[in-house]
Amino acid sequence: MNDRLEQRIKEGYRIEYGEAVELERQTPHEALWAMAGRLRTHFLGDGFDTCSIINARSGRCSENCKWCSQSRFHRTQVDVYPLIGAGEALELAAHNAAKGVRRFSLVTSGRTLSDTDLEKACGIYEELGRKVKIGLCASMGLLTSAQLRRLKEAGVERYHCNLESAPSYFPELCTTHTTEEKIQTLRRAREAGLELCSGGIIGMGESMAQRIELAVTLRDLEIRSIPLNILNPIPGTPLENMPRLTDDEVLTTAALFRIVNPQAHIRLAGGRPLIAHLFPRLLHCGVSASIVGDMLTTTGSDIDTDKEVLKKEGFRIG
């Protein structure tokens, strides 16, 4: 039965939500992992896509997202600073480019950017475009169509806006903005000519069925880069005492995201240190990409270590 489903997916079939829920419930997880690995190989070969980010504006966020250390609603020890200058961004972008990393993104805290800060960011992007050979991405909240077009003019190729969790669960995690506002931002970005990147965080109390709901929502939006974050509970946030996911949950979630989104890059993102021991296995469960280096307010992965693992497991960066 699953062999037939796998073949149909290879031929272009889009598995639906209820079907994916039943697949997870009725199939041994080892079989799901293997199926996801074969689909990854079929659609994406042995290449592994990399990107990096810089926390370009930190803290004092007006939104009340329960997982986030940068929200002004929570008592955390996060650094607080305004938009960085071009020098810091250039240094990190050049370092990543020299390591073979393909893309680099400025990520800013807050619901959105003022036009003044957006122009400063565009100036940084224009300088990056002149001086560093690396693809440019942006993650700056709920921007307007005009702002997104301006980023495109400045050389940005891809816009990131995570849905974070299933539409049915997101209101439990944040009440200051909605999933629909995020989806509208993604649609505006596409209309501006930008590629899209959107994913979520697992381990925030959602069910496996809701993780599948998120995967299907992203598939229906035709997202081709899907960051998969593992919650790293931050002291001072409402989720500081959330229990850690089991290895089985992480591997199975990654596999299901691949099965639902067979042609997308399933990208490891936040929480890498929590699952460092799983990295080799995740490569064979459908994962095809990663954010490398440090994350926004937590440590990430070492680029050279990742390269060694990729080589050992038969994958290549590119």
**232-244: pLDDT as tens digits:** 998 999 999 999 9
How long, in residues, is the chain? 318
Token readout for 144 is: 């307007």
Kindly tell me if the per-residue pLDDT of 167 is higher than 50.
yes
* Alpha-carbon 286 to chain mean position: 15
Per-residue pLDDT, 80: 81
Kindly tell me if the per-residue pLDDT of 298 is higher than 60.
no
**Hunting for tokens 């079929």 — which residue is that?**
42
Among the listed residues 196, 172, 202, 195, the one whose alpha carbon sits nearest the alpha carbon of residue 182: 196
Long-range pairs, 310-318, Cβ under 8 A, ≥24 = 310/48, 310/283, 312/280, 313/280, 313/283, 313/284, 314/46, 315/46, 315/47, 315/48, 315/283, 316/46, 316/47, 316/48, 317/47, 317/48, 317/49, 317/50, 317/100, 317/102, 318/47, 318/48, 318/100, 318/102
More confident residue, 79 or 311: 311
Per-residue pLDDT, 153: 98
CATH architecture of 15-317: Alpha-Beta Barrel (3.20)
Find residue 48's DSSP bridge partners: 317
Give yes or no for a contact between 122 and 146, defined as CB atoms under 8 angstroms apart: no
Per-residue pLDDT, 62: 84
Q: Residue 79: exposed, middle, or buried by beta-carbon count in 10 A (0-12, 13-18, 19+)?
A: exposed
Count of beta carbons in the 10 Å neighbourhood of residue 72: 15
Q: What is the DSSP string of 134-147?
A: SEEEEE-SS--HHH
d(CA 156, CA 178): 25
Kindly tell me if the per-residue pLDDT of 297 is higher than 70.
no
Kindly tell me if the per-residue pLDDT of 305 is higher than 70.
yes
More confident residue, 37 or 109: 37
Per-residue pLDDT, 295: 44
Per-residue pLDDT, 303: 84
**47-57: pLDDT as tens digits:** 999 999 999 98
Give yes or no for a contact between 277 and 251, defined as CB atoms under 8 angstroms apart: no
Token readout for 274 is: 């929590």
Amino acid 130 reads R
Kindly tell me if the per-residue pLDDT of 299 is higher than 80.
no
Amino acid 56 reads A
Mean pLDDT for the chain overall: 93
More confident residue, 35 or 61: 35
Instruction: Please state whether beta strands 47-57 and 103-108 pair in parallel, antiparallel, or not at all (unpaired).
Output: parallel
Count of beta carbons in the 10 Å neighbourhood of residue 114: 11
